[in-house]
Amino acid sequence: MEVPLPRLRLGLIGAGDMGTAHAAAYAAMADVEIAAVAGRGGARARPLADRLGARAAADPASILDDGSIEAVDITAPTAAHRELVIAALGCGKHVLCETPLAPRVEDAEAMIGAARASGRLLAVALLSRVAEPGLRVREILRAGILGRPLVVSTERLWPGLGVAGTPGDHHGDALEEVALFDLDWLVWCFGMPRAVSTVAPPRADGQVDHGLVVLDFDGTKAFVEASRVMPAGWPFEIAGRAVAERGALSWSVAFPPGAGASVPPTVRLTRYDADGGSETATDFGENPYRLECRHFVDSIRGRADPSLLDASAALDGLRVVEAARRSLREGRTVAPS
């Protein structure tokens, strides 16, 4: 008879919307105990910790120094990821880090190096690799069911800041915080693009509020539109289209206005065949935040393939973001380095 493993003691670093969504995912797992929560000040951390029956940590260091905590989930601001992740790995913790892993490729490489040196797992919340309908679309495109993919386009328009040029409290721009999810998904589908170009309204600091990234995948063209400056009342919707030799796909993930990450979206995928037939699916499964958190826990316990969300997988998406920035800066098409 198999002896069950002790419950995984886990610390949360970050108590905002995403930290709360991850907390709900772990709280539903019988084999996980949320031991402590740290946030930007006690105002956020304490209410969440109280709901979970966990300790409200004064700062991340008190979680990292706790030898009884085996893993940490980091949803703190992106600029803090490198320092927190490397410190956590150095303390012997397994780490799940929110996307984007880091602001720059060199930061991500340093974090990956720290993971290898520590022998601990560094996973990234690559939501598009566990979320529907992206999984089903990828399966159809890669299986060649509709023939060779010709054009794939996605849009992810965020009603985040509302006013162009207004800085958020910790968020990056539309490339690293919005487009990256679709760029990572495209790389997962087709491999690294051979060419990248970007169009966006100019800003003196090089940041992108609303942009279009064009990618060439050896015969398949992709267009990724991303915004962080839609009006506050704009409904957040993820949408995509794929045109292939023998048909097309159209999909959408629509979130109710003002809803948090805990409210499930309306998901729709329609397949159009060359003969004029079509079929729509809306029966999609589990909350993707729960799936990525479950995968992290199972990877630690040796019950799942860690490569799906491994930090090395996140690196290629960041390379495409850097190529998109270089294209915008230089006014030309570039190859990812």
Percent of the chain with pLDDT over 90: 82
> Is the pLDDT score of 69 beyond 60?
yes
Compute the distance between CA of residue 34 and CA of residue 215 in angstroms, rounded to an integer.
41
Verify that 173 and 248 share a domain, yes or no. yes
Average pLDDT in the 116-123 region?
98
Verify that 16 and 31 share a domain, yes or no. yes
The reply to whether 231 falls in a domain is yes
The residue assigned the tokens 């886990």 is 10
Average pLDDT in the 302-320 region?
97
Residue after which a domain boundary falls, among 125, 149, 175 = 125
Average pLDDT in the 321-331 region?
97
* Structural domains in the chain (count): 2
First to last CA, the chain: 51
- Give tens-digit pLDDT for 178-237: 999 999 999 999 999 999 999 999 898 889 999 999 999 999 999 999 999 998 888 888
Residue after which a domain boundary falls, among 77, 98, 125 = 125
Verify that 14 and 61 share a domain, yes or no. yes
The reply to whether 111 falls in a domain is yes
Verify that 90 and 172 share a domain, yes or no. no
> Is the pLDDT score of 108 beyond 90?
yes
Verify that 15 and 99 share a domain, yes or no. yes
CATH number, domain containing residue 133: 3.30.360.10
The reply to whether 31 falls in a domain is yes
The residue assigned the tokens 């279009």 is 212
pLDDT for the residue 79: 94
User: What residues make up the domain containing 113?
Assistant: 8-125
The reply to whether 251 falls in a domain is yes
Strands 247-254 and 237-244: antiparallel
Average pLDDT in the 107-120 region?
98
The reply to whether 244 falls in a domain is yes
Compute the distance between CA of residue 115 and CA of residue 291 in angstroms, rounded to an integer.
22
CATH number, domain containing residue 24: 3.40.50.720
Verify that 159 and 229 share a domain, yes or no. yes
> Is the pLDDT score of 154 beyond 90?
yes
Verify that 121 and 222 share a domain, yes or no. no
pLDDT for the residue 316: 96
pLDDT for the residue 168: 46
> Is the pLDDT score of 41 beyond 90?
no
Verify that 58 and 147 share a domain, yes or no. no
Verify that 22 and 90 share a domain, yes or no. yes
Cβ neighbours for 131, distance < 8 A, ≥ 6 positions apart:
253, 288, 291
Verify that 182 and 210 share a domain, yes or no. yes
Residue after which a domain boundary falls, among 79, 99, 125 = 125
The reply to whether 306 falls in a domain is no
Residue 271 pairs with which residues in a beta bridge? 249, 279
Spatial CA neighbour of 175 closest among 325, 316, 312: 325
pLDDT for the residue 161: 58
The reply to whether 230 falls in a domain is yes
Spatial CA neighbour of 270 closest among 281, 260, 259, 261: 281
Verify that 208 and 69 share a domain, yes or no. no
The reply to whether 134 falls in a domain is yes
Verify that 222 and 180 share a domain, yes or no. yes
